[in-house]
Amino acid sequence: MTDDAQEPESLFEAPPEGEQERMVEAVLFASAQPVTVADLNARMPHGADAARALEALRKRYEGRGVHVVRVGDAWAIRTAPDLGFLMQKETVETRKLSRAAIETLAIIAYHQPVTRAEIEEIRGVSVSRGTIDQLLELEWIRFGRRRMTPGRPITFVVTQGFLDHFGLESARDLPGLKELRASGLLDSRPPPGSDEETDDEDQTEMFEDASEDDVPNPTMEQEE
């Protein structure tokens, strides 16, 4: 009975050390989570020494693009720290401009240089700081000269980046205010004291479609 009980053990022979390293390497590579020595031993053939294979594998990967590293009580294959920059990927989050931002942008484009108070007078509502900040971060507007009036308020003007995004050579190529109001991008009533309306035709679709394009917007805020 004793010999029969021990007979199955004699049928198992530990794989060569090189083969054990390959087994450990395969498990670590395929695992989404770090693997403990106990888990490795449970997977490997009888007689294998996962701890010894791990140590040999760790030395083998020294100086390579990936390393065998210890994570708590487990082990994993990780990118060499000095090569982490190769794994980085910068992406730009895209969101649509709010209606408040579109209206504010249009007013600045057509009335530049224009102050915040003048924008609010034309829109008929206050302009949140988030709306202005959003357009500044997009680099579609910039600060202009201060007005030589009490308080010397800052003015806003559109940038070259704005013109480039909308395919314009200059602000003079913008569609007329009449067309913008007809498309709903601006309030239907004329701005106080302004009779500025151009006759540029067939450009409303260009401005409306471009205004609704996805644009980089890391600090989107809704107009209250």
Q: What is the pLDDT of residues 46-61, one digit of tens each?
A: 889 999 999 999 999 9
With contact defined as beta carbons under 8 Å apart, do 177 and 152 qualify? Answer: no
Task: Point out which residues pair with 69 in neighbouring strands.
Answer: 76
Side-chain half-sphere CA neighbours of 86 within 13 A: 7
In this structure, the dihedral spanned by the alpha carbons of residues 190, 191, 194 and 198, taken in order and rounded to 10 degrees, is -60
**Residue 181: which pLDDT band, with cuts at 50, 70 and 90?**
low
Class of domain 94-216: mainly alpha
Q: CA-CA distance, 61 to 95, in Å (whole number)?
A: 44
Q: CA-CA distance, 219 to 130, in Å (whole number)?
A: 8
Higher pLDDT, 45 or 88: 45
With contact defined as beta carbons under 8 Å apart, do 164 and 158 qualify? Answer: no
**Dihedral pair phi/psi, residue 215, rounded to 5°:** -135, 150
With contact defined as beta carbons under 8 Å apart, do 47 and 12 qualify? Answer: yes
When mean pLDDT is compared across 35-39, 63-67, 126-130, 173-177, the lowest value belongs to 173-177
Nearest to 48 by CA among 89, 8, 20: 20
Quick check: do 15-85 and 94-216 share a fold?
yes
User: Which pair of structure tokens corresponds to residue 146?
Assistant: 């201060």
Give the pLDDT mean for 107-117.
Answer: 89
According to CATH, what is the number of the domain 15-85?
1.10.10.10
In this structure, the dihedral spanned by the alpha carbons of residues 155, 156, 159 and 164, taken in order and rounded to 10 degrees, is -150
When mean pLDDT is compared across 87-91, 174-178, 191-195, 218-222, the lowest value belongs to 218-222
Task: Point out which residues pair with 141 in neighbouring strands.
Answer: 158
Predicted pLDDT at 198? 37
Predicted pLDDT at 148? 87
**Residue 184: which pLDDT band, with cuts at 50, 70 and 90?**
low
Domain boundaries, the chain: 15-85, 94-216
